[in-house]
């Protein structure tokens, strides 16, 4: 069987440092693991990871960059109200520019890549819609600059300004597994047989959300704002859809799908930059024996 290997990376803000560190540990155990990937996909911080790997950055270098980023500067608040984005995004732009050279386009990347965004504007008069930036040969987005894609895919609503009408793809697919699988088997894109696809999905750490209160009489205010989780409706929509994509991928691929997403000892928000040392420690302490066995059975030749 000619395997078609996919790496997919979730969104999660600062929790992306956990994803990058887990990947580095796997690469240390299996040198060349990332090199074998035919497609790398990502959402939000996961899109930056995917773009960096497709550009040729090693997992070790990627982990070094994500752990040394001044996340406090990325998420430094410029506004405390509800009428403006909380963060300016200037430092994040500089950080992205330091990784990708000017003029680099998706078509220049050494691997096939899929990065998810959402366009809220509709210049053609149609409707807002998800956008799946990719560099498959027939793609209409393959000539887009990598910097533009990175900014479009990480413009988290309320945190950062939208970018040319694009916002973070986490609003529709924080877990990009199904999107990546769909692109891989699409006859006009990857053109692969579903039986050949192997998919390793890397999360940013699972948080065991739940609402302990009686929600029977909740109205718009309670669903919008609540002590735990703070924004229940938004949180359950993002996390619930992500769990759906995990279920769908597992149902479709069976043993050829693996979800690496360790449960976090405590909830960490996407902008909780002070938790980065904890995330790095948890990533180093995570037991990888199950995924190591899966890689041996399914990823390697």
22 vs 5: CA distance, rounded Å? 18
- Distance from chain centroid for Cα 32: 21
Determine which helix (DSSP H) or strand (DSSP E) holds 271, and give its type and residue range. none
Question: DSSP label at 182?
Answer: H
Between the alpha carbon of residue 203 and those of residues 174, 188, 212, the distances in Å are: 9, 28, 25
84 vs 272: CA distance, rounded Å? 19
Preceding omega of 229 cis (within 30 degrees of 0): yes
Strands (E), 135-265: 166-168, 197-202, 257-260
Helix orientation angle between 276-285 and 16-29, rounded to the nearest 10 degrees: 30
pTM of the model: 0.94
**Domains recognised in the chain with CATH numbers:** 4-299 (3.40.1090.10)
236 vs 230: CA distance, rounded Å? 11
- Distance from chain centroid for Cα 87: 20
Please list, in sequence order, all residues whose beta carbon lies within 8 angstroms of the beta carbon of residue 29, skipping any fewer than 6 positions away.
288, 292, 295
pLDDT digit of tens for each residue in the chain (301 aa)?
699 999 999 999 999 999 999 999 999 999 999 999 999 999 999 999 999 999 999 999 999 999 998 888 887 766 555 544 455 555 466 778 788 998 999 999 999 999 999 999 988 888 999 999 999 999 999 999 999 999 999 998 877 889 999 999 999 999 999 999 999 999 999 999 999 999 999 999 999 999 999 999 999 999 988 888 888 898 898 899 999 999 999 999 999 999 999 999 999 999 999 999 999 999 999 999 999 999 999 999 8
Name the token pair of 87: 């963060």
Question: DSSP label at 210?
Answer: -
């Amino acid at each position: 069987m000619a395997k078609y290997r996919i790496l997919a990376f979730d969104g999660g803000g600062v929790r992306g440092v956990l994803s990058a560190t887990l990947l580095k540990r796997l690469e240390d155990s299996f040198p060349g693991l990332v090199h074998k990937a035919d497609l790398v996909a990502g959402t939000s911080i996961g899109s930056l990871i995917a773009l960096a790997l497709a550009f040729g950055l090693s997992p070790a270098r990627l982990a070094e960059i994500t752990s040394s980023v001044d996340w406090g500067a990325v998420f430094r608040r410029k506004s405390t109200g509800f009428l403006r984005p909380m963060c300016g995004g200037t430092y994040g732009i500089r950080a992205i520019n330091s990784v990708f050279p000017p003029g680099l386009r998706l078509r220049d990347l050494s691997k096939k890549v899929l990065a998810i965004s959402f366009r809220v504007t509709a210049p053609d008069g149609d409707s807002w819609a998800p956008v799946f930036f990719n560099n498959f040969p027939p793609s209409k987005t393959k000539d887009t600059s990598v910097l533009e894609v990175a900014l479009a895919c990480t413009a988290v609503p309320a945190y950062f300004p939208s970018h040319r009408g694009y916002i973070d793809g986490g609003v529709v697919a924080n877990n990009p597994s199904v999107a990546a699988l769909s692109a891989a088997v699409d006859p006009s894109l990857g053109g692969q047989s579903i039986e050949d696809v192997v998919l390793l999905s890397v999360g940013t750490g699972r948080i065991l959300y739940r609402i302990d209160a009686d929600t029977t009489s909740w109205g718009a205010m309670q669903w919008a704002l609540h002590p735990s989780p703070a924004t229940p409706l938004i949180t359950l929509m993002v996390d619930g859809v992500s769990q759906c994509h995990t279920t769908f991928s597992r149902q479709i691929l069976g043993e050829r799908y693996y979800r690496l997403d360790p449960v976090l000892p405590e909830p960490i928000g996407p902008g909780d930059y002070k938790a980065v040392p904890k995330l790095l420690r948890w990533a180093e302490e995570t037991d990888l024996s199950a995924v190591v066995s899966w890689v041996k059975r399914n990823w390697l030749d």
